[in-house]
C-alpha cells in the first residue's frame, strides 16, 4: 500500500510540474489552480506515506531523510495552497519535483530501518514547530529568489517572459514578508519549546544547532524590524532572507547530516 501511494504521489508531483511548465511556456501568469490541486493531491498521498510508515514503526521519528521528505511536502503544500489564490505557480516548477525526489529518496533508504527511537510528545511538538517554521521560511526564500530575478530583469530592462509569468514585484515582496513573519513566529515558538523540553543540550550535541538557529532568528527578526521601522526592501531584504535561511539550513540539516550519517548518533 505504501509503495503504491509513493508511486502515485511521484506521478502526481511530476504531472503537476509538467502542467506548470506548459503554463510558463505559454506565459500564463494567472492562478495555476489545475497544477496546484494536483500537487495538493500528491501532498495528501505523500503525507499518508509518512503516517503509515510511522504507524508501522511504532511512533514518530525524524531521521535525516524523513525530515527532508516531510519538509518538502509541507513546502509543496504551502506553494500549492498559495497558488490557488496568488499567481506563484512558477515556484512549483522547482518545489514539486524536489518533493518527488525527496519522497523517492526517503522510500529508497528503507525508512522502517532508520533506527531512531520514537519521540515523546514534547519533542514532537518542538520538532513540528521547527519543521513548520523551516517550511514557511523556505517558501519565503524561494520568493526572495523570485524577487531578485525580477529586480535584476528590471535593472537590465529585459521585459521578457520572466516578468510576464511572475506575479507583480510588489506582490512577491508582500508575500515574502508575510511568510517571514509567520515563519519567525513559529521559529520563536520552536526555540522556546526547545528551552523548555530539551533537558541537556550538551549531552544531545545540540549546541551548534541552537547557536545557528538563534543567529538565523536574529537576522529574520532584524529584517522584520527594519521593514517596519525603515522600510527595508529589495536587495537588502533578499540578502538577509537568504543568509538567514542558509544558517537555518545548516542548523537543522547540517547538524542532522553530521550526527546521523557521519557520526551515527541520533538526535
Same domain, 49 and 99: yes
My answer on whether 152 and 185 are in the same domain is yes
What 8-state DSSP symbol labels residue 118? P
Give the chain's domain count.
2
Predicted confidence (pLDDT) at residue 8 exceeds the cutoff of 90: yes
Three-state helix/strand/coil letters over the chain: CHHHHHHHHHHHHHHHHHHHHHHHHCCCCCCCHHHHHHHHHHHHHHHHHHHHHHHHHCCCCCCHHHHHHHHHHHHHHHHHHHHCCCCCHHHHHHHHHHHHHHHHHHHHCCHHHCCCCCCCHHHHHHHHHHHHHHHHHHHHHHHHHHHHHHHHHHHCCCCCHHHHHCCCHHHHHHHHHHHHHHHHHHHHHHHHHHHHHCCCCCCCCCHHHHHHHHHHHHHHHHHHHHHHHHCCCHHHHHHHHHHHHHHHHHHHHHHHHHHHHHCCCCC
Mean pLDDT for the chain?
84
Same domain, 169 and 90: no
Q: Which of 118, 141, 167 is the last residue of a domain?
A: 118
- Domain of residue 97 covers 1-118
> Is there a single domain that holds both residue 16 and residue 135?
no
Burial 210-230 (b: 16+ CB within 10 A, else e): bebbebbbebbeebbeebeee
The pLDDT confidence band at residue 30, using thresholds 50, 70 and 90, is low
- CATH number at 71 reads 1.20.120
On whether both 162 and 33 belong to a single domain, the answer is no
pLDDT bucket at 111, cuts 50 / 70 / 90: low
- Distance CA(7)–CA(13), nearest Å, equals 10
The answer to whether residues 146 and 114 belong to one domain is no
Residue at which a domain ends, from 88, 118, 148: 118
Query: What would the pLDDT profile of 216-241 be if each residue is shown by its tens digit?
Result: 999 999 999 999 999 998 899 999 99
Q: Write down the pLDDT at residue 267.
A: 46
Work out the percent of the chain whose per-residue pLDDT is above 70.
80
Q: How far, in Å, are 31, 207, 248, 255 from residue 213 at the CA level?
A: 34, 10, 5, 11
Residues 79 and 209 in one domain: no
| Statement to judge: residues 4 and 109 lie in one domain | yes
Q: Say what the pLDDT of residue 202 is.
A: 46
| Residue among 86, 77, 74, 73 at smallest CA distance from 32 | 86
Residues 204 and 78 in one domain: no
pLDDT of residue 64: 82
Domain boundary among 118, 142, 177: 118
| Cβ(79)–Cβ(91) below 8 Å | yes
**Are 64 and 36 found together in one domain?**
yes
Residues 88 and 209 in one domain: no
Cα diameter, the chain: 57
Q: Where are the alpha helices (DSSP H) in 29-91?
A: 33-57, 64-83
**Buried b or exposed e, range 183-204, using 16+ CB within 10 angstroms:** bbebbebbbebbeeebeeeeee
Is the same domain home to 138 and 202?
yes
- Judge whether residue 199 has pLDDT over 70: no
pLDDT at 134: 94
pTM of the model: 0.87
Amino acid at each position: 500500500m505504501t509503495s503504491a501511494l509513493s508511486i502515485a504521489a511521484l506521478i502526481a508531483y511530476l504531472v503537476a510540474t509538467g502542467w506548470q511548465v506548459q503554463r510558463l511556456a505559454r506565459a500564463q501568469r494567472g492562478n495555476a489552480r489545475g497544477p496546484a490541486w494536483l500537487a495538493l493531491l500528491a501532498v495528501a498521498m505523500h503525507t499518508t506515506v509518512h503516517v503509515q510508515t510511522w504507524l508501522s514503526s511504532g511512533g514518530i521519528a525524524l531521521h535525516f531523510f524523513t525530515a527532508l521528505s516531510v519538509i518538502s511536502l509541507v513546502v509543496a503544500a504551502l506553494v500549492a495552497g498559495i497558488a490557488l489564490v496568488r499567481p506563484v505557480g512558477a515556484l512549483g516548477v522547482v518545489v514539486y519535483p524536489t518533493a518527488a525526489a525527496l519522497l523517492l529518496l526517503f522510500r529508497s533508504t528503507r525508512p522502517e530501518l532508520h533506527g531512531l527511537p520514537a519521540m515523546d510528545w514534547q519533542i514532537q511538538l518542538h520538532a513540528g514547530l521547527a519543521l513548520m517554521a523551516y517550511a514557511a521560511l523556505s517558501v519565503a526564500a524561494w520568493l526572495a529568489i523570485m524577487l531578485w530575478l525580477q529586480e535584476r530583469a528590471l535593472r537590465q530592462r529585459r521585459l521578457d517572459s520572466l516578468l510576464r509569468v511572475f506575479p507583480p514585484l510588489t506582490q512577491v515582496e508582500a508575500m515574502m514578508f508575510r511568510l517571514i513573519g509567520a515563519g519567525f513566529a513559529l521559529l520563536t515558538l520552536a526555540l522556546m519549546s526547545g528551552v523548555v523540553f530539551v533537558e541537556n543540550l550538551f549531552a544531545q550535541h545540540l549546541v551548534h544547532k541552537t547557536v545557528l538557529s538563534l543567529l538565523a532568528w536574529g537576522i529574520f527578526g532584524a529584517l522584520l524590524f527594519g521593514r517596519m521601522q525603515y522600510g527595508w526592501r529589495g536587495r537588502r531584504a533578499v540578502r538577509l532572507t537568504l543568509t538567514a535561511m542558509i544558517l537555518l539550513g545548516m542548523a537543522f540539516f547540517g547538524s542532522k547530516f553530521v550526527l546521523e550519517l557521519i557520526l551515527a548518533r541520533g538526535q
